[in-house]
Amino acid sequence: VSLKPIVQGMLEHVMERSDNNDDGALSDAIPALQEVDPRPFALAVTTIDGEQYCAGDSDVSFTIQSISKPFVYALALESIGSAEVLNHVDVEPSGDAFSELSLMPETGRPFNPMINAGAIAAHALVPGDTEERVDHILDLFSRLAGRRLTMNSQIYRSEREHADRNLGIAHMLRARGVIESDPESVVDGYIQQCSIEVTARDLSMMSATLANGGLHPVSGERILSPAVVRQTMSVMLSCGMYDIAGDWITRIGVPAKSGISGGVTGALPGQLGITAFSPRLGPNGSSVRGFRVFYELSQELSLHLLDAAPATDDIVIHSREGQDANGKPWRVLQVLGAITFPGAERILRELSDLSDEFTELSPENARLVVDLSSTLRINPIGRQLLAEAVRRIAEQASRVIILDPAGLLDRLDKAAFGRAELHRRRDTVPKHKAVTVHEPTLELRPEGHEE
């Protein structure tokens, strides 16, 4: 039974609700965009492991326009580092329209890389001359999309002939020392960047790579580093939707970027890349149906970032009593899932209660296993708190063993655990359903250990 139609049907259903909405108009910012077909409507969703659900006209090409901005920003960050990029472009929402000739009064830098001023500056930060920059950009976009992309020369030429505003911005940037390169060639490269053709399917794959922390969902290639992705998605969240960024985040809650050709793409960390496409724009320069369909999808699939399950839901802690083959009592604390700060804090409370029980036992009968064999991951603060907890308990107990077959705690110095013993032996992992711990726990003992 193929169950893909279940999810596919949800997408189609969501699209149907906006199907008859013909509000808005084609962009008048670029003459050639007035000529495009206003009818295509697409919704594409890509999971972080590369499954795609495409509805409507997901294979219709359109120029990427401003949706190129977050990806070129990521390329600049990757190429010259965050500190240097921040010396040229800030990360503050402007509340302005995308084409505003504006700089932050305090810093003299563009507000953010999502409006044209910041995007043109970010383009200029990509190393090389105009041709090399465009090559880099086309290459990056193609790797993200998973196929070779090309440029739409007709729309490029049309925008190039009507580039006064962007040229004005670039001259302002050079006058203020934000860019050093020739404004004409920077704008030429920037317009080429905006003319790269993509489909909704492509863009959802590109965004899914962001959602996946920079690892390509299909090839598994590391294309961007996690820190770069985090910074890029942060500015998408705060500035990606220009002067409707506030409305977008409160109602839809997905870091996103729109473009004047009618695309909107969103990246939901650890979950999905999502793209909608419909060329008719509202007064703010974003797709009318795109907004609508993102809203419906966010509602329908509960995608709002702030509706995310609390991190404590990622963890299950089982506390059990057991005994070894010699009939000696052990306490076993098994941790399933992921340990981040909130989970670690709960483990500490659990361990406190558990070690209180030790005081009722004779010290030589106070034995504890912390079983991490079903723990998926642990972050640095989780590691630190767990090590400190077992170190303190080990001072009071007869034995404390941490079972860590995956080596989640390897990065910590052995000394951090004090008297607690770290074991990696996979064959000694107690079974999940075993409430009473027999042989396996006994086998945990290092060879030659004296009780």
Rule CB under 6 A: which residues touch ligand GLN? Answer: 29, 65-66, 98-99, 116, 159, 166, 194, 259-260, 285
Closest CA to 130 of 67, 175, 191: 191
- Closest contact distance (angstroms) between CB of 25 and ligand GLN is 15
Q: Residue 259 to residues 3, 30, 429: CA-CA distances in angstroms?
A: 33, 12, 53
Pairwise CA distance, residues 339 & 44, whole Å: 33
Q: Which is nearer to ligand GLN, 163 or 344 (CB)?
A: 163
Closest CA to 330 of 448, 436, 451: 436
361: how many CB neighbours lie within 10 A of its CB? 14
Q: Which is nearer to ligand GLN, 167 or 311 (CB)?
A: 167
Q: Which is nearer to ligand GLN, 265 or 441 (CB)?
A: 265
- Closest contact distance (angstroms) between CB of 73 and ligand GLN is 14
Burial of 305 (0-12, 13-18, 19+ CB in 10 A): middle
- Closest contact distance (angstroms) between CB of 64 and ligand GLN is 8
- Closest contact distance (angstroms) between CB of 209 and ligand GLN is 21
Pairwise CA distance, residues 243 & 99, whole Å: 11
Token code pair at residue 137: 């950009």
**Residue nearest ligand GLN, Cβ-based:** 66
- Closest contact distance (angstroms) between CB of 258 and ligand GLN is 7
- Closest contact distance (angstroms) between CB of 186 and ligand GLN is 12
Closest CA to 268 of 220, 223, 302: 302
Q: Which is nearer to ligand GLN, 255 or 259 (CB)?
A: 259
Q: Which is nearer to ligand GLN, 194 or 344 (CB)?
A: 194
Pairwise CA distance, residues 269 & 288, whole Å: 24
Contact 267, 255 (CB under 8 A): yes
